Structure 1
Amino acid sequence: MFVLGLTGSIGMGKSTTAEMFRAAGIAVHDSDATVHELYRGTAAALVEAAFPGTVREGRVDRAVLAAQVLNDSDAMKRLETIVHPLVRASRQDFVAAARARGDKLVVVDIPLLFETGAEVEVDAVVLVTAPETVQKQRLAARPGMTAARLAAIMNKQMPDHEKRRRADFVIDTGGTHAETERQVQELLRRLLGEAASVPAGDKG
């Protein structure tokens, strides 16, 4: 089975691209969605213990938590030591289940793939990117996106040019939806032809 890591900086179109893989029948593990689930379950008590007052009615209040950690690197590191291992475990369970089903290819959507060293878990990395002007337009249209919040997020992310250098494949979402979809389909044709040659148990 081939494990494809999907990543991209904020505003680059990663979520849209992930949906294109799903529409093509490929199972996708979504790290962001997993965090949302953890904040309603397993992680809630752990986060509350580390950041008192951040859990309301049994779930993490993301706005309250963000106010405590976004501009505090030590606090962010404490949060990451709680959340990242839980997300990684969820991802590993997902890959194991897909392997047991006999899937030829799965996608794991990891926003901070290079930043967290997660490339060792996958067989190849596809980077979703777009011109900076397009990225800024998308971010400006997001509700609740402030300059301070954006700066905090960008400070955690590797520059796009470095991600381009390290990625195995690049999908440019700066054009039309159809153009992005064509790139996804082309990549799938290539990978599904190669998936059978990946030894069982290799990475992931």
Structure 2
Amino acid sequence: MNKPRIIGLTGSIGMGKSTVAAMFEAAGVPVFDADAEVRGMQGPEGELIDAIEAAFPGSTGSEGVKREALGAQVFADKAALARLEALIHPAVGKKRKAFLFEHADKPMVVFDIPLLFEKGGLEAVDTVVVVSAPADAQRERVLARPGMTEQKFEHILSLQVPDAEKRARADYVIDTGRSLAETGEEVAALIARLEQGQ
């Protein structure tokens, strides 16, 4: 049985990955958004709520995971973070398997994986597409987010593989440091190339 070509879409914070993922989706390419799946499983009535509460008492409520309460328990505690990831990653893996089964007849699908280089998963994708923009554009976008500070931004960057390294390891790079229309044209051209098996 043919299986779709799996595109691993990644990029550092503020690079425009969500925008590019939406462009793939608008062009008819199914997108698996790992972060959105996690949010769903941690939201009200989410399937991971009971397990997270059992492992991290007081971290959930009627609205699902209380991000700040959970963050306080795992932030700066590698063992606690590993316990949390051991709950989340297998659940996401199951969702991804179901997604692939559902779209088995498609020529390609996108796995939107923010931490593809940092947390692993390269073996699960056929082609790596990195979304990138100039550092000043990235900084401006991230610092415009509610609640973001220079300190938080620097901390997030310190946890991510540098953009230059991601670009060097990518099969393709999408530049979002230009107009949305130009980025859209670049995505459309890439989809055409990938459909031709390049």
TM-score by length of 1: 0.89
1:52 aligns with 57
Q: Which residue among 136, 144, 147 is the counterpart of 1:144?
A: 147
CA RMSD of aligned residues (A): 1.6
Structure 1 portions without partners, runs of 5+: 196-204
Q: Which residue among 86, 89, 96 is the counterpart of 1:81?
A: 86
2:73 aligns with 68
Q: Which residue among 7, 15, 20 is the counterpart of 1:4?
A: 7
The 5 Å alignment of 1:98-117 reads 98-99=103-104, 102-117=105-120
What is the total number of aligned residue pairs between the two structures?
193
1:23 paired with 2:34, answer no
1:125 aligns with 128
Does the CA-based 8 Å contact 2:132-2:173 persist in structure 1? yes
Runs of 4+ in 1 over 6 A off after TM superposition: none
Structure 2 portions without partners, runs of 5+: none
Worse-matched range after superposition: 186-195 or 6-15: 186-195
Determine what percentage of the aligned residue pairs are the same residue: 48
State the AA in 1 paired with 2:179. T
Q: Distance in 2 between matches of 1:73 and 1:155?
A: 15
Q: Distance in 1 between matches of 2:157 and 2:93?
A: 22
Residue by residue over 1:3-30, the C-alpha shift from the partner in whole angstroms, topping out at 9 and shown as x without a partner, is: 1110011110000000101111111010
TM-score by length of 2: 0.91
1:193 paired with 2:196, answer yes
Does the CA-based 8 Å contact 1:128-1:173 persist in structure 2? yes
Does the CA-based 8 Å contact 1:127-1:163 persist in structure 2? yes
Worse-matched range after superposition: 150-159 or 170-179: 150-159
